[in-house]
Structure 1
Amino acid sequence: MKSMTPFLMFEGRAEEAMNYYMEVFKDAEIRYVNKYGEDTPEMEGKIMQGVIRIHDQLIMMMDSNVPHEFTFTPSMSFFIECRSMMEIENYYRKLKKKGAILMPLDEYGFSDSFGWIQDQFGVSWQLNFSR
């Protein structure tokens, strides 16, 4: 295997999501963007393929040019191990904006501080901080 990369398929909001994640995560970087052109007028300007790096993780993204009846599900999520309470609280505050709280930020038996968010795009994030 050469590599394995998470791949997120959006319906017209991939660029918005990439820019949002650049705001949420200070060390995020957009690595590559290829947009649909004039030959696909209904998708022109949307993301055909994009890659963002968050910390050390590459994530591919695209806007689907084919309608589909599925979207993101919380059964697949990004798990972030935070370095401090300040960091977990910051991510929690930003990711819950216009999103849904699946598990509120709190102390649980398995964690000193844990929260599970579905962001405004439907992508799920599990945030954890253990002392």
Structure 2
Amino acid sequence: MFSGKAEEAMNFYISLFGQSEVNSIMHHEDGTVMHAVFTLRGQSFMCIDSIVEHAFTFTPAISLFVSFKTEEEINRVFERLSEGGQILMPLAPSPVSEKFGWVADQYGVSWQLNLAKG
């Protein structure tokens, strides 16, 4: 649930990942998103723009976890998601990963990015 930025965020995410597309979108009269379905790497997501002001937003209590096959791809996506956002853990080796990083993007959505060992 976004506050007026759902379509912008959705299009940003689609630009980062292959096999991604907007499946459907319905707008309110003011142009904000009433309901949208989009796919990232074959996984479907839904988003809306809330028409009600809330005292809450996204938190790192829940994250989207994405595994990558190449160092080039994880570096690119981490850099793009970090722009205007907050790095919660920089990309670095971990006991179970070649590289792992955690970032909250410019919209507040939390992402854990992983390049598995081997």
TM-score w.r.t. structure 2 length? Answer: 0.95
Q: 1:129 maps to what in 2?
A: 115
Gapped regions of structure 2 (runs ≥ 5): none
Aligned match of 2:105: 119
After superposing on structure 2, the runs of 4+ consecutive aligned residues of structure 1 that deviate more than 4 Å are: none
Q: Displacement of 1:110 after TM fit? A: 2.9
Offset, 1:34: 0.2
Q: Deviations over 1:38-64 (max 9, x none)?
A: xxxxxx110000011001211100000
| Residue aligning to 2:84 | 98
Residue type of the alignment partner of 1:95 = L
CA displacement at 1:87 relative to structure 2: 1.4
2:21 maps to 1:29? yes
The SS at the match of 1:10 is: coil
Determine if contact 2:6/2:33 at 8 Å carries over to the other structure: yes
Match of 1:19 in 2: 11
Residue identity opposite 1:25 in structure 2: F
Unpaired stretches in structure 1, ≥5 consecutive residues: 1-8, 38-43
Q: Equivalents in 2 of 1:56, 1:25: separation in Å?
A: 10
Number of equivalences: 117
C-alpha distance in structure 2 between counterparts of 1:105 and 1:79, whole Å: 14
Q: Which residues in structure 2 correspond to 1:26-105 (within 5 Å)?
A: 26-37=18-29, 44-105=30-91
What TM-score do you get using the length of structure 1 for normalisation? Answer: 0.86
Is the CA contact (8 Å cut-off) linking 2:83 and 2:106 kept in structure 1?
A: yes
AA partner of residue 31 (structure 1): N
Q: SS in structure 2 opposite 1:16?
A: helix
The percentage of counterpart residues that share the same residue type is 43
Task: For residue 13 of structure 1, report the CA deviation from its aligned partner.
Answer: 0.5
